[in-house]
Structure 1
Amino acid sequence: MRHLPKHLRPKWRYLAVGLETWPDAKLSRRAFQRRLWYAGQNLLGDPGSADADLSVFGFHHADGVGEAVVRTRRDTVSEARAALACLDEVEGQEVGVHVRGTSGTVRSCEEKYLGRRPEVSGENRVVFENADRAAVTRDGLVDVEVGDAYTGATDLDVTTA
C-alpha cells in the first residue's frame, strides 16, 4: 500500500505537558491516556474527540512530577488544551496539568519545553501547624505529610526543623 502524498497527510502538533502530583502518587501512561480520552469525549463530544485524535507520545512520572508529549491535529490545538485543562485526577490520584508549549515536531517539543525535570531534594523535617512533620520540598513548594495524606505549602508556611 502506498503512502499518501505529503499535502494529503494529516498535520500534527505536539503539546509539552507538565504534570504535578503528591510525592507518593503513581501514574502510568496508559491511565493518563485513558483519562485524556474521557476528558476529550466529555468536553468535545464523540465527533470533536475523534477530530482532535489526542494521543500520548511520551510520558514520564516519578516523585510527584512528570512530563508528557500529547499529539493532536493542527486545527484542534485549542480543543486539546481545553481537554487537558479538564484533567484533575488520574486513577484516583489528584493531578495538576499545565501545557508548557506547542511545537510542530516531537523532537523540537522535547528540546524546547521538556528539559530536565525539577530535582526532588528528598524528605526533610519541617515544623507545620506547630508540629514536627515529614515533608518533600522542590522549587519553593513543600508537600507536608499530615496523617496519611499530603498538604501543599510554601517555604513561608513552614520552618525547617
Structure 2
Amino acid sequence: MTSQTDIAPDMVQGLKDRLPTEAEISSAAHAATAIAVAMELDGGLKVSGQDGEPVKIAPAVGELIIELLGHVSAGNMVTLVPVSAMLTTQQAADMLNVSRPHLTKLLKRGEIKFEEVGKHRRVPLPALMEYREKKAAKQEAAMQELSRLGQEYDQA
C-alpha cells in the first residue's frame, strides 16, 4: 500500500486544483464500477467501520459517491460544495468559467444575487446555479431560433 509520504507533494493536494493523474482516473473508474455493482447486489453500500463492524451507506449517498468518481474518471477537477455554501467571488467566477471582474459586473447589474460580508461579496450557491440555468435556457432558445431561421432561409 502507498503512503502519502511515497506520493509526490504536488499529488497530495486535492483534485480541486489540478487534473487527476492517469492512475487516479483509472482508480476512480474501477471504484465507481465496483461500488455500483456492490450497491446493486446489496441494495446499498457496505463498508467496514473502525471496529470492523459493517456500516451500510444509504443508496442516495452511494449514488453521490459514484457520481463523484464518474467526474474523476472523466479526467475532471472536482470540488464538493454544500448547497448552502456562500462562495467568494473567485469561487463563483471559477464555477461559471468567467473572470472575477466579469462576475463582479454581473453582481453589480443585479443578475446574480449576493450578500455583503464586511467589504467582501459572497454569492449563495443557489443564486449562482439559478443564473447558470437561466443563461443556459437563453442560449438554448437562441440556438432554437437560429435553427428555425436557418430552415426558413433554406426554404426560401
Q: Is the TM value for this pair above 0.5?
A: no
| Higher helix fraction (1 or 2) | 2
Range class of TM-score, shorter chain: under 0.3
Which of structures 1 and 2 has the bigger CA Rg?
2
TM (norm. structure 1) is 0.25
Task: Considering fraction of residues, name the structure with more strand.
Answer: 1
Higher RCO (CA-CA < 8 Å; seq separation 6+):
1
